[in-house]
Amino acid sequence: MASSPSHGKAPGFVRADSLHPDQKQVVFYEPVCYIPPMSQDRLIKIQNKETKEIYFTRKNKKTVTRKLELKKYSKKLRKRVTFKEIKK
């Protein structure tokens, strides 16, 4: 196999017109973007007072300064109930 000509491209890149008819063109794909893990300072705990069940969710502390109060499904009561934000 002939070495690929250097055109300032990534190693392994070969121009299609410089290939021999029975050679296959090498195709490179862009790497997948890195997604950093969720920051822990945005993570909050919400709890139901009756059953003491806990859910974790996110909150933008810059725009939402009050304590969160969400309706979520309680597995113990088998219905939607209010969950309030508590300290971590």
Considering only the top CATH level, what class is 43-86?
Answer: mainly beta
pLDDT for the residue numbered 88: 75
Q: What are 33-80's pLDDT values in tens digits? A: 666 676 788 899 999 999 999 999 999 989 999 999 999 999 999 999
Q: What are 52-61's pLDDT values in tens digits? A: 999 999 999 8
- b vs e for 45-64, b when ≥16 Cβ sit within 10 Å of the residue's Cβ? ebebeeeebeeeeebeeeee
Of 17 and 58, which is predicted with more confidence? 58
Ranges of each domain in the chain: 43-86
10 Å CB burial of residue 83 (0-12, 13-18, 19+) is buried
- pTM of the predicted protein model: 0.55
